[in-house]
Amino acid sequence: MEFAFFLFVNPTSGGNRAGVYLQLDAETIKFNLNQKPINVYFTSLHQRDQVEMNLRRIKEFQQRNVQVRVIVCGGDGTVMWVVDEMHKHGVDYSNCPIGIIPFGTGNDFSRVLGWGGDTDGDLGACLRNFKQQISQWLNAKIHDFDLWEINITVDAQTGSFKRIKKQGDLFQKEILQKDKDVLKQLDKRMSNYFSIGVDARIGFGFDKKRTQSACCNKCVYFCEGLKKMCLKNPTTNQVIQGMQILKEQNVTIEQITTTVPTDILFKTKGVNTREDQQPLNESKFILSGDPVTLLCLNIPSYSGGAGAIWDNCRGKVAVKEGTQKLQDKFVNQDFGDGKIEFVGFNSMIGMANERFIHGNAVRIAQGEGPFLISFKKNVSPYFQIDGEYFQAVNPTLALLKRSPIRIKVLMKAQN
């Protein structure tokens, strides 16, 4: 049986360390491993012609029943970059498992697949270490992995999206545009997690001071967290009006009206509610407490290694019906079961302590979706999608639904 490994390398990941896989002076290497013919193809994601050539080659190999494996050399964001390229070129996901060599800052995608949170990038003498990696990929377990789509809208007159962009040597805030007009709807695909709250505000500040060193970036992130602890941060009750689950699977955010049938998951307390959300306003399901972050998890790792958040807060349900707390009837988390989980953290200290002392979160919801989040009036919350940070000015709705794209991933064998 013939195997072909396609390494898609983001050379700037890990402070440019990922580029070591492009320094072999060869676009292709061939050898036998465990009596199997192995072909390895190296692709720089910064070289458009290489990307397109090797994606075409993947499709050709799939037609010839060659066992294809795609390996991403980079961080979590690079994974979605490669998935988007595969989607554009019509690659068959069901016959093309994806693995990763972690070179990012958080590397949560890599952690949940068992490949760890970092790599030294040492290929070894005569590629000995690299061949060991290939042997591990050959023995890896193939698992389903769900992807999700997020659509967020802002007020048509006053709304906008902001993010930090590097301009020369400086990082500056920019307003997102589409066709020279202010962007009013942001559409993103998600693999790991999505959140609204103080964690995204910390990340937004971190983006202003991001460095080329993964170690320095962790120190910058820590300092931003300390700084935000001294500020007054908007909470879930102040920003979000409520959350519902739609009864129709194929509704787009443009089609959503008050007549679309929904089940209400919760409403929040506080002022600045929107009058057009009458069923939500009249609901008896109330979010208890006042979370500083609403976190949506597709995987059991968050923010560089805070693991099993959902499973560790079993029995802690944050939604009440009237004055009665709901029972915990949720199931364990699995990134390939078609479900996604929502949790909240009621304090920044609890969120920071989660990687050391488990069980600080509270469970809010779990299901197949689609989920609809409604925002209050005159708010400007921070949010993040897979570690990409934004600020929304006067948002109205956020729709989260399962993507029709479902990938296969390589999970490291335990032995």
The tens digit of pLDDT for each residue in 63-74 reads 998 999 999 999
| pLDDT tens, position by position, 38-56 | 899 999 999 999 999 999 9
Q: How much is the average pLDDT of 89-112?
A: 92
303-355 pLDDT tens trace: 887 889 999 999 999 999 887 888 888 999 999 999 999 999 999 899 888 98
- Per-residue confidence (pLDDT) for residue 271, from 0 to 100: 65
Q: Measured between alpha carbons, how far is 56 from 32 in angstroms, rounded to an integer?
A: 24
Asked whether residue 213 carries a pLDDT value surpassing 70, the answer given is: no
pTM: 0.90
Residue 149: is its pLDDT beyond 90? yes
Taking a C-beta distance cutoff of 8 angstroms, is the pair 297, 333 a contact?
Answer: yes
Question: Per-residue pLDDT for 101 more than 90?
Answer: yes
Give 384's Cβ-side CA count (13 Å radius). 26
Neighbours of 42 (CB within 10 A): 21
Q: Is the pLDDT of residue 116 over 80?
A: yes
* Digit-coded pLDDT (tens) for 392-409: 999 999 999 999 999 999
Residue 10 has pLDDT above 80, yes or no: yes
Question: Using H for helix, E for strand and C for coil, what is the string for the chain?
Answer: CCEEEEEEECCCHHHHHHHHHHCCCCCEEEEEECCEEEEEEEEECCCHHHHHHHHHHHHHHHHCCCEEEEEEEECHHHHHHHHHHHHHCCCCHHHCCEEEEECCCCCHHHHHCCCCCCCCCCCCHHHHHHHHHHHHHHHCEEEEEEEEEEEEEECCCCCEEEEEEEECCEEEEEECEECCEECCEEEEEECCEEEEEHHHHHHHHHHCCCCCCHHHHHHHHHHHHHHHHCCCCCCHHHHEEEEEEECCCCCCHHHCCCCCCEEEEEECCCCCCCCCCHHHHCCCEEECCCCCEEEEECCCEECCCEECHHHHCCCCECEEECCEECCCCCCCCCCCCCCEEEEEECCHHHHHHCCCCCCCEEEEEEECCCEEEEECCCCCCEEEECCEEEEEECEEEEEEEEEEEEEEEEECCCC
Mean of per-residue pLDDT scores for the chain:
88
171: closest CA among 210, 214, 228, 213? 210
